[in-house]
Structure 1
Amino acid sequence: MVLAPRLDLRQSQSLVMTPQLQQAIKLLALSSIEIEAFIAEEVERNPVLDAGGDDFISDTPLDALPQTAIIESNERGSDEIIGDDSHAAAEALDVDFGAESFHHDTPSDSVGDADGMLGLSGIAMTTGSFDVDGTDFDSFAARDIDLRTHLMAQAGASLSGHQLFLVQQIIEHIEPTGYVSEDLLAMAQRLGVPLAEVEAALTALQRFDPTGVGARNLAECLALQAKEADRYDPCMARLIDNLDLVAKGAFDQLKRMCRVDDEDLRDMLIELRGYDPKPGCRFESDNSIAVTPDIYVTPRGDGWSIELNSANLPRLLINRSYVAELGQDKATKAWLSDCMADANWLIKAMDQRQRTIIKVATEIVKQQDGFFRRGVAHLRPLTLRQVADAIEMHESTVSRVTSNKYLHCGRGLFDLKYFFSSGVQSADGEGVSAEAVKSHIKSLIEAEGEKILSDDTLVELLTAKGFDIARRTVAKYREAMGIGSSVQRRRQKKMGR
């Protein structure tokens, strides 16, 4: 062993991912909204990149971008991919794009005459351009206000002086559900006022709309609503004070405590269920975002048409006129060269993203043909690896493609992840998806009537249908769907639900 410094030359191989390659991989997992935000940032950063217009020329023709795939089933039941873009599919199937039977999911797919087409109330609508923004009907909607703003307005209209200040301080600690999040004693010490004044301010706040706001717990929230409805008698007070017994279904004990009979207790429970346990949630300020499908699946003869939603596809172009108008010095040329390279890479990355989505969606439709034809009961167990092996891609790529993507078909709107689930053994040996088993369990429970089915009975009924499933699996699927046990369902029946 030589204990001396020396120099050695070694050769090794390693995979180096460039920043552009890393970004292209990240693009696969982005949703349509995230893609729009990303493209907007790139357009703002790169002056040669444009998101629309007719005066620019792109290195990748828009007509060449993949948007449609066709799956045709032959008489023997096998599936064959006819094409991976709209033009190839049209030539193979002789599709008439102007026919009324052709699927139009966006305005750009509609083909009209030169004068356009008539919309609602006979208003003329153009059919071939996204350059002109349409009417934003959301702008006509009333602006939502949050819970605190609503409470502040009521406080300003009905209170003044020191009490108004205290109520405003309490409103600042109101949770979105309507409950007070801070202890009143701690608030009084922080503000340097007596506890009685803070409690009086809270009492004033609890008279505001919505009824039940300003409560410190569930019992107080329900009590405030019972008082507003003039139903807060001693019996109702005892019932609200013992909500834990209501949850347990201890009705005999509640009847003794409240000194009522079965009919009165049933009426009180029905009244209690009519109250809102979270009165502030109706004033949530976060606007819900509508999910738009990324893929459309429609019947086409004996097969299926898989089409990307063109409204979600950004139109990326290169502004060559901007490049020609700039100076021709060496530094500017080098900078423009980098901008052009980035723009061309982004266009190609988006092109590859669309091709990959179409490829994965096509394979999913082929694997789950039974679901699209006959419903969720025929959903097959499917894994990411099966799809990856079929399309010769890595499993992680399929996982990214199916993240935050939605497919629309005749049966509704589904997350692509919905089609991947584990399976249980069936009588025919092929296996059945967990979602299909859940569908059978749900239908059995919905049709049980007065005779409540236990998990053991559900196992027997499912076995008769050809499902080899254990009792603990039935319980797991039932709980995953939010369905209570047979004991809980029996109590709910008894309570009149």
Structure 2
Amino acid sequence: MALKPKISLRQTQRLSLTPTLRQSLNILALPMTELITAIHDEAAENPMLKLETQHEGTFSGGRSAYDVATETVATTVSLGESLHQQITLMRLDDVVRSIAFYLIGDLDENGYLTSDTDDTVKALGLERSIVERAISAIQSCDPPGVGAKNLTECIFLQMIEAGIDDERARLIAKHLDLIAAEDWPILLRKTQLSEVEVHELVTLVRGLTPFPAARFWQEERPGSPEIRIERDASGQHRVALTSGMVPEITIDVDLLTRSKKEPGAREFAARCQARADSLISAVRFRNKTLLRISNLIVRHQHPFFSGRADHLIPLTRAEIAHQLSLHASTVGRAMAGKYLEWSGLVYPLSFFTSSTLGAESGLRTSAYSAQQMIRRLVERETADTILSDEKIVKKLNADGVDITRRTVAKYRGCMNIPSSFERRRQMTARRTRPGSPGSVNFVKQ
């Protein structure tokens, strides 16, 4: 039976990454200093843009906004800037390059890609192969491991960069749990590799990092605060954007009016006006989003802003997104590289969000609060009461903190606190170290 050809019409809705949408997302992700540069660059090319310097705001201690910026502005290239520069030099299709730039905004501070590929494909209405090529472009950048979706992929990418073939790299990266447990017999059986190969690969893995963007933490200096938190006479906290740094953007109405009267300039003026309107809209959206997120943070972290500086209530970016009816990636872009000033100190917005402990038991503790509890336990130690990680776990569990020994070890490492063995050795050395002639040794008990 022959099939007759049929012609049918189907209407679908697709969200494409238009230049306007791309600009809005890029502006949202820019830190203050990069935003100022972007505004001035656009004004240099667009005669319809009119920039006006705002009145300079003041910060705690009488410092001007300009002073704070010059003291805190980052002098090194950020992870985002580095990736932008590398991708710009790649031979990619324009669409793939645009998606790669878009996805850079979805990287967390460790360099991991937080957005789901399926969600990105659905949101942008693109073919999956295009999104995957953009992800591959990011993953081919330096530092090795950047753009990974999880630890397994992060280690795999670093092994490939180190020259390990694809098959063996996948075998080892898939069994990181066995390496951590040092279960060599099972690892040998599951990988079917020789002892020599396993030894070489495990030695390599132990020299790799689960935090590919770590060097950018070490190089990055605090940025300029764009949010200021103040307490009014009634004790309420007020959230405001800092002024005096970002110029006010308007359209030069006089020039626009004159241009429309000249036939040869009308089309050019219309294009410039559209670009100016797009930039103004993007900056307004950025400011509005920052204020909404900051207000929510201040309400949620009320104990912190009320003087309990070591206490943070668990708060995730997903929770912020849900409460503000925003996409999680929008919240991530808005918070990346943004800072607020409170009581004379500058904090990154990401400081107020953290992973949560004890979610399953219902007793939630922020990772930051747990770290401070560990620090206080260690600070109270004496030479005879050094706490092992296991003992720290038991004390925290008794206080209602659901935490494992591995997590304690991880947090201890983040705070540069040595192991119990090393702390005992250091304290013993201080007690037995001979003093200089005529001096007296004091032992802190």
Paired residues for 1:181-192 under 5 Å? none
Aligned match of 1:295: 227
Alpha-carbon distance between aligned partners in 1 of 2:301 and 2:70, rounded to the nearest angstrom: 38
- Distance in 2, matches of 1:290 and 1:476, equals 24
**2:19 equivalent to 1:19:** yes
Alpha-carbon offset, residue 312 of structure 1: 3.3
Structure 2 residue matching 1:296: 3-state secondary structure: strand
Q: Residue type matched to 2:224 in 1? A: T
Alignment counterpart, residue 56 of structure 2, candidates 79, 83, 107: 107
Deviations 1:323-377 (A, max 9, x none): 3555844231111111112112211221121111101111111111122224344
Q: 1:425 Cα shift?
A: 2.9
Alpha-carbon distance in 2 for matches of 1:108, 1:377: 29
Check if 1:394 corresponds to 2:327.
Answer: yes
Question: CA separation of 1:398/1:427 partners in 2, compared to 1, >3 Å: closer, same or farther?
Answer: closer
Structure-2 residue corresponding to 1:457: 391
| Matching of residues 156-235 of structure 1 within 5 Å | none
Q: Secondary structure of the residue that 1:307 maps to in structure 2?
A: strand
Which of 368, 377, 381 does residue 448 from structure 1 map onto? 381
Aligned-residue offset at 1:26: 1.5
Deviation per CA, 1:414-465, whole angstroms, max 9, x where unpaired?
1111111122239995411010000011111122132322112222332343
Residue type at the aligned position of 1:315: E
Residues 435/321 of structure 1: CA separation in 2 closer, same or farther (3 Å cut)? same
Matching residue of 1:45? 45
Amino acid at match of 2:420: S
Correspondence 1:410-429 to 2 at 5 A: 410=343, 412-425=345-358, 429=362
User: 1:403 Cα shift?
Assistant: 0.7
Q: Is residue 297–residue 352 contact of structure 2 (8 Å, CA) maintained in 1?
A: yes
Counterpart of 2:250 in structure 1 is 317
Q: 1:401 to 1:473 in 2, by over 3 A?
A: same
C-alpha distance in 2, partners of 1:426/1:12? 40
User: Secondary structure, in 3 states, of the residue corresponding to 1:317?
Assistant: strand
> How do 1:240-389 and structure 2 match up within 5 A?
291-300=223-232, 301-326=234-259, 328-389=261-322
Is contact 1:372-1:411 (8 Å) kept?
Answer: no
Report deviation, 1:471: 2.0
Deviation at 1:402, TM superposition (A): 0.8
Unaligned runs of 5+ in 1: 54-61, 63-105, 111-118, 121-126, 139-286
Give the Cα–Cα distance (whole angstroms) in 2 for the partners of residues 109 and 348 of structure 1: 27
Stretch deviating more after TM superposition (353-362 or 426-435): 426-435
Question: 2: distance between equivalents of 1:109 and 1:481?
Answer: 33
Partner amino acid, structure 1, of 2:241: L
CA distance in 1, matches of 2:300, 2:308: 14
SS at 1:310 equivalent: coil
Encode CA deviations 1:183-224: one digit per residue, 9 max, x unaligned.
xxxxxxxxxxxxxxxxxxxxxxxxxxxxxxxxxxxxxxxxxx
Give the equivalent residue in structure 1 for 2:413.
Answer: 479
Query: Given the superposition, is the C-alpha separation of residues 108 and 137 from structure 1 closer, same or farther in structure 2, using an over 3 Å criterion?
Result: closer
Structure 1 residues 108 and 459, CA gap change in structure 2 (3 angstroms) = closer
Which structure has the larger Rg? 1
CA distance in 1, matches of 2:220, 2:355: 31
Confirm or deny: 8 A CA contact 2:57 2:242 kept in the other structure. Answer: no
SS in 1 for 2:10: coil
C-alpha distance in structure 2 between counterparts of 1:466 and 1:43, whole Å? 56
**Taking every aligned residue pair, what percent have the same amino acid on both sides?**
33
Cα distance in 2 between the residues matched to 1:433 and 1:412: 21
CA contact (8 A) 1:377 1:437 kept: no
1:420 partner amino acid: T
3-state DSSP of counterpart to 1:356:
helix
Aligned residue pairs, count:
279
Partners of 1:29 and 1:137 in 2: CA distance: 21
Task: Rate the CA distance shift 1:411–1:368 in 2: closer, same or farther, 3 A.
Answer: farther
**What is the match of residue 423 of structure 2?**
489
Q: State the AA in 1 paired with 2:228.
A: Y
- On the 8 A contact 2:363/2:402 being kept in 1, the answer is no
| Gap change, CA 1:137 and 1:354, over 3 Å in 2 | closer
SS in 1 for 2:271: helix
Alpha-carbon separation, structure 2, partners of 1:16 and 1:430 = 42
Distance 1:413 1:6 in 2: 65
Contact residue 222 and residue 346 of structure 2 kept, 8 A:
no
Indicate the SS of the match to 1:467. Answer: coil
CA deviation after TM superposition for structure 1 residue 15, in Å: 1.8
For structure 2, the residue ranges without an aligned partner over 5 or more in a row are 72-218, 434-445
Relative to 1, partners in 2 of residues 1:44 and 1:2: Cα closer, same or farther, differing over 3 Å? farther
Q: Please give the TM-score of this superposition, normalised by the length of structure 2.
A: 0.56
For the aligned residues, what is the CA RMSD?
A: 3.4
- Aligned partner of residue 305 in structure 1, secondary structure: strand
The alpha-carbon distance between structure 1 residues 391 and 326, as it changes in their structure 2 partners (threshold 3 A), is closer
- Over residues 266-296 of structure 1, what are the superposed CA-to-partner deviations in whole Å (9 max), with x where a residue is unaligned? xxxxxxxxxxxxxxxxxxxxx9866211111
Question: Which residue pairs with 1:158 in the alignment?
Answer: none
Is residue 23–residue 279 contact of structure 2 (8 Å, CA) maintained in 1?
no
Contact 1:404 1:415 in 2 (8 A): yes
Q: Distance in 1 between matches of 2:330 and 2:236?
A: 26
Opposite residue 12 of structure 1, the aligned amino acid is T
Give the whole-Å Cα distance in 2 for the aligned partners of 1:489 and 1:23: 52
